[in-house]
Amino acid sequence: MKAAHEDQLLLLDLQKLDQQESRLRHQRDSHPAHATLKELAGRADDLRRAAVTQTAVISDIRRESEKLETEVDKVRTRRTTQQGRLDGGEVPLRDMSAMEHEIARMDQRISDLEDAQLDAEERLEAAEGAERAMRDEAVAIAADVEATRAQFSEDMSGVEAELRRIMAERRELAERVPEDLLAEYERSRSRNGALAVIEVREGVAMGAATDLAPAELGVIARIPDDEVYWAEETGQLVVRTGASR
């Protein structure tokens, strides 16, 4: 294809801007804050899963404690009733021994249930303490996330400003490049990344993925100024400067 040599030269400036943008994006994307935020997000996810499990544990212990309390009240009520009958002389003499034995068994049952209830209450207190610790940790993680983001914003403020400037300059420059030539540049950039264009200066290839053969350099030196040339070996666009024209 044909393109004015002056327009071809714009591709070198465009490539410089693209390389600067790529460098700044890499600087931003490789900032340690990203790894820190990823680690904090992992901790937060683990904590949320643990909190769900802990909530279920607390609910189970509470149900257990309530069941024990109900059973204690039930046995204690019956014990009071039976003791009242015994004290009031309502129990026949032949049944008194059995009644006393039943009351003794209920006393033991109440003692066992109260011990179990105390154990449940202690486990509930520990579980609720663990849950509070999880909430505290969640607050600490959230604070770390905010601090990390703030530090990232502070560190990258200059980079972001420079990136915006370069992107704006790049848009303005791209508008000056003919559409068909710009499309060829973008096609080369999609294949070759930051080295879309080779500058051949004074017969020397600058920015080539591989050295151009002398024969190809000879061909490049002979083509008209307005001819857009693709390097055979590398698939990059070639722009000539200086005596290479």
Same domain, 41 and 146: yes
Question: For the chain, what is the mean pLDDT?
Answer: 93
With respect to residue 187, please indicate whether it lies within any of the assigned structural domains. Answer: yes
Residues 22-78: pLDDT tens digits?
A: 999 999 999 999 999 999 999 999 999 999 999 999 999 999 999 999 999 999 999
- Specify the pairing of strand 204-206 against strand 229-230: unpaired
Residue 125 clears pLDDT 50, i.e. is over it = yes
Q: Which domain covers residue 102, as residue numbers?
A: 31-156
The count of structural domains within the chain is: 2
CATH of residue 105's domain is: 1.10.287.1700
Verify that 9 and 73 share a domain, yes or no.
no
If asked whether residues 52 and 150 sit together in one domain, one would say yes
What mean pLDDT is predicted for residues 150-157?
96
Looking at the structure, do residues 123 and 188 belong to the same domain, yes or no? no
- Answer yes or no: is 76 within a domain: yes
Domain stop point among 87, 121, 156? 156
107 shares its domain with 184: no
Q: Does residue 208 surpass a pLDDT of 70? A: no
**pLDDT value for 244:** 46
